[in-house]
Amino acid sequence: MRKIQKEIVSNATNTDFFNLFFKSQSVTKLIGYFGQIISGATEFHFIYSGVGGVYTPIIKWSNLLPVLLGLLVIYIFEVVGVRVFLVRIVRQIANRKFETSESMILFGFNLLFVLVLCGSNLLFSIIGQKASFTTLTNVTTTDNTYLLELEKTAKVEDVNLRYNDRKKELITPYETDKQTIINSYDNDIKELKNSRYTHRENKPKYDSYTSKIDTKLTAKANGLSGLTETFSNDKKQLEIDRKNEISNITKGLNKRIKDIEKTEKGNVSLWVMVQKYTLPILVVFILLSWVAIIYIEVFYKGSGQDIEVKEISSRPLLLWVLIVGLYDKFYHWFYGKVVNKIGLEKYRYTEIRNNEIEVKPIELMNPQTLAAMQNNNNLSVRKIGFNRSEKNDTNNNPPINNGNVTNYQNTPFNAPMDHQQSPFNAPMDHQQSPLNGERITVNVAELKDNQKKCKHCTNIFTYKHWNAKYCSDDCRIKSWELRTGKTFTKKSKS
């Protein structure tokens, strides 16, 4: 496990002072962190926007560099500047640690770092606060009224096109009627002129035709004049209707545009006021975060708490622990399946996880080990199976407390040990170790490479096939009968 060094606050020696200012110290610490949070937010926005980051959409590759730079600036100013160097100079002043020249030199360097980093922190926070309101205060009203202007222009253009079509509709019948009147009167005048020409020698008739021609010309002029006047009146009325409709459209949309401009100007004025009054509040909280550092260090000094640097083990991420655990479990499960398939003794995964220790018999026969086992009173017996009490115990065995510690006076280790009384004559698997309370595995007989222990009678036999489990057919039959509860009957060969 990797080791890291961490500052740890010791217990308070001046408990009265500690109890008096403990609550205020906790609140002051929260205020300090709050000031650093809002300061870091303004700094992040300033760097993030200046490098080219966008908020919509926020998840895109081009925002990776602005995010990293913004977090780096926050770490340098808020962590290194405030939580490292400012804490160091305040702690040195509070504890008056100026005994050596080295401490004076380092105090000067720390003070230099504090002035540079904290000054930059304050400057970046002020600039970032102003930059945060730039998009809200520098608003052009045409950004929101542009669509209305387009709508007004489109409607006016539609009205003009429509009235131009109506004007064309007026001109066509006017020209037709005009040509009809001209053709009608011209034909009559032409016939009268021809008739007058034939009576050119008869002056009274000639003068009569001349008078008729003048009358026709006057009627023609009057007809054309009336038609022209009607056409002019229709055009004037059409133009009046066009202007009235355009005026109504323009007035309605202009009113909406003015309302939007008024609202936008009100919002801009509001955000300008918010920017104006939040700036000193931001500065105050930044200064409070610095004052909180001084307050906490004075509190440690007054309560008699020392700052101790200790080496601790780093804590891995829970996700990494989960991955390692799943890998470990899968590996041993897969290994157990493989060794079971090929016939080897199954891998005891749970024994390994419970720190089981394999102890050879020769180690337990050591006199020093036996003496330690005799002197140890913390002998425990681990019972596997059904619970057994003194009433139904017919073998006069000592009571077993199901894992609880019991001191037995008549243990085999207190009596003289000979070959008959040795606890190692019988197979001992998973006994409780009297040395350290952990489970041990004792293998009494050393098996050769070509020997196995019979699964039924536990006798050692030499196998001919690697998958052999029984020493004889009788043991295999008896094991089958015990396992199934049936009686094995040999069938005769037919």
Query: Tens digits of per-residue pLDDT, 342-394?
Result: 665 544 545 544 444 444 444 445 555 555 555 544 444 444 444 444 444 44
What tens digit of pLDDT does each residue of 283-311 get?
999 999 999 998 998 898 888 888 888 77
Helix (H, G, I), strand (E, B) or coil at 462: strand
Confidence of residue 253 (pLDDT cuts 50, 70, 90): confident
pLDDT tens for 40-83 read 999 998 888 888 888 888 888 888 898 999 999 999 999 999 98
209 and 112 belong to one structural domain: no
The per-residue pLDDT for 334 is: 79
**Is residue 408 included in any domain, yes or no?**
yes
* Cβ atoms 380, 400 nearer than 8 A: no
Contact by Cβ (8 Å): 380, 403: yes
Q: Let me know whether 393 and 483 are in one domain.
A: no
Same domain, 430 and 301: no
| Spatial contact of 116 and 251, defined as CB atoms under 8 Å apart | no
Looking at the fold, whether 112 and 153 belong to one and the same domain comes out as no
**100 and 76 within one domain:** yes
Mean pLDDT of 426-448: 47
Which residues are CB-contacts of 223 (< 8 A; sequence separation ≥ 6)? 181, 185
**9 and 132 together in one domain:** yes
Helical packing angle, 203-302 and 101-132, nearest 10°: 160
Same domain, yes or no: 366 and 295: no
Quick check: is 277 in a domain? no
Q: Are residues 133 and 191 in the same domain?
A: no
Domain boundary among 268, 298, 330: 268
Domain count, the chain: 5
Alpha helices in 303-344 (DSSP H): 318-342
Which residue is it, tokens 């929260």?
30
81 shares its domain with 191: no
DSSP letter for 439, please.
Answer: E
- Residue 71: predicted pLDDT: 92
Tell me, yes or no, whether 276 lies in a domain.
no
40 falls within a domain? yes
Q: What is the pLDDT of residue 111?
A: 92
- Could you give the angle at which helices 15-51 and 203-302 cross, rounded to 10 degrees? 150
Q: Which residue in the block uniquely carries the two structure tokens 């470990």?
A: 328
113, exposed or middle or buried, with CB in 10 Å at 0-12, 13-18, 19+? middle
Q: Are residues 240 and 163 in the same domain?
A: yes
Q: What is the mean pLDDT of residues 309-321?
A: 69
Average pLDDT (203-227) is 83
Band the pLDDT of 405: cuts 50, 70, 90.
very low
> Residue 197: is its pLDDT beyond 50?
yes
For residue 380, being part of any structural domain is answered with yes
Is residue 19 one of the residues assigned to a domain? yes
Asked which of 105-119, 221-235, 315-329, 460-474 is least confident by mean pLDDT, the reply is: 315-329
Q: Which two tokens stand for residue 141?
A: 């009203």
What distance in Å separates the CA atoms of residue 212 and residue 344, rounded to the nearest whole number? 142
Residue 241 counted as domain residue: yes
Same domain, 71 and 135: yes
Interatomic CA distance for residues 339 and 203, integer angstroms:
149
Pairing of strands 3-9, 307-313: antiparallel
Radius of gyration of the chain (CA): 55
Most confident of 263-272, 419-428, 472-481: 472-481
The C-alpha atoms of residue 235 and residue 338 are separated, in whole angstroms, by 103
Neighbours of 281 (CB within 10 A): 11
Same-domain pairing of 26 and 99: yes
**Domain interval for residue 343:** 317-354
In a domain, residue 184? The reply is yes
